[in-house]
């Protein structure tokens, strides 16, 4: 659906994105059981994705967007 919306020039221009930019997104699900077991065995925890995204946005805003 998003690709279809981006085929509308006004929407693509507003979002500053071309429909081809979505081609890399895969809907395939991968079995991550082995990685989960490895992480558990070694005490590795997944980061809180919301916090990670907030920190990334803050960094990008501070060092790239704010400085032009």
pLDDT number for residue 34: 97
32 and 21 Cβ atoms separated by less than 8 Å: no
Higher pLDDT, 63 or 43: 43
d(C-alpha 45, C-alpha 61), whole Å: 27
pLDDT at 14 over 80: no
Mean pLDDT over residues 24-42, rounded?
91
For the cut 90, the answer to whether the pLDDT of residue 45 exceeds it is: yes
As given in the structure block, the two tokens for residue 53 are 């995204």
- Going from N- to C-terminal start, the domains of the chain cover 1-30, 31-67
| Average pLDDT for 34-44 | 97
Q: Is the pLDDT of residue 9 over 70?
A: yes
Q: How many CB atoms lie within 10 A of CB 10?
A: 7
């Amino acid at each position: 659906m998003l690709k279809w919306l981006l085929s509308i020039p006004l929407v693509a221009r507003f979002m500053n994105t071309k429909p081809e930019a979505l081609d890399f997104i895969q809907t395939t699900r991968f079995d991550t059981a082995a990685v989960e077991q490895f992480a558990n065995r070694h005490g590795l925890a997944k980061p809180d994705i919301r916090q990670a995204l907030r920190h990334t946005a803050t960094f990008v805003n501070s060092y790239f967007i704010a400085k032009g």
